[in-house]
Amino acid sequence: MTSAHITRFCLIRHGETDWNGEKRIQGHIDIDLNAAGEAQARAVGQGLAEHSFAAAYSSDLQRAWRTAQIATAGMGLAVSPAPTFRERHFGVLQGVTSQEARVQYPDVFHHHHARTPDYDYENGESLIVFAARVRAGLEALAVSHRGQNVLIFTHGGVLDVVYRAATGRPLEAPRDFTLPNAAFNWVEHGPDGWRLISWADCRHLNRALDEVLE
């Protein structure tokens, strides 16, 4: 397969926020980076210096958008807002920690922990709907940028869907891979579908918190 038929993606989870440190579920709540997250975004920019991209996209939530703006500042690359790559809407669990969720919303937390595919957190997105949103957005970019490298700034939940698409792991299977803040995650898409290149590369970072895993 020639490179002209392949679209290669570098996907980056946003830098750290205070809520990441508290293990508080953010979802669509628009939390900005903290000082550590801004430092991670600068480190991302340094790590990306050896790569070239035809286009860059970012979730429009502030923590991803700010990461993108800082990281690409010296690259001469305009970042396009892409709400398709927003985090999943976690409904009633948004704004609470996993420990709080166990007490306040035990039934909801049960479905969250079990990764029930069609459960929507009472007023959020089911895993099935969320994954379809993410995959449709990526597959559209794979077509429009065939043969190119594409940079995307996004969220842990989005990356969870991408990893599973690239490895064939079911949506409902427990997560046994990491989703660190500001790490590099490379996948590609071609006529044979998705393929994982490398995952959770943190060599450019001093530290990176994993996505909430409970």
- Residues marked active site are found at 14, 87
Q: Which residues contact 171 (CB under 8 A, 6 or more apart)?
A: 115, 117, 127, 128, 131, 161, 164
CB atoms within 10 A of CB 21: 12
The full DSSP string for 39-60 is HHHHHHHHHHTT---SEEEE-S
H/E element, 194: strand 193-201
Contact, 182 vs 15, CB < 8 A? yes
Q: How far apart are CA 129 and CA 84, in angstroms?
A: 12
Cα 47 to Cα 67: distance, rounded to the nearest angstrom? 13
Angle between helices 156-167 and 127-144 (to 10 degrees): 70
**Which of these, 118, 55, 103, lies nearest to 81 by C-alpha position?**
55
- Residue 164 tokens, joined: 């599973």
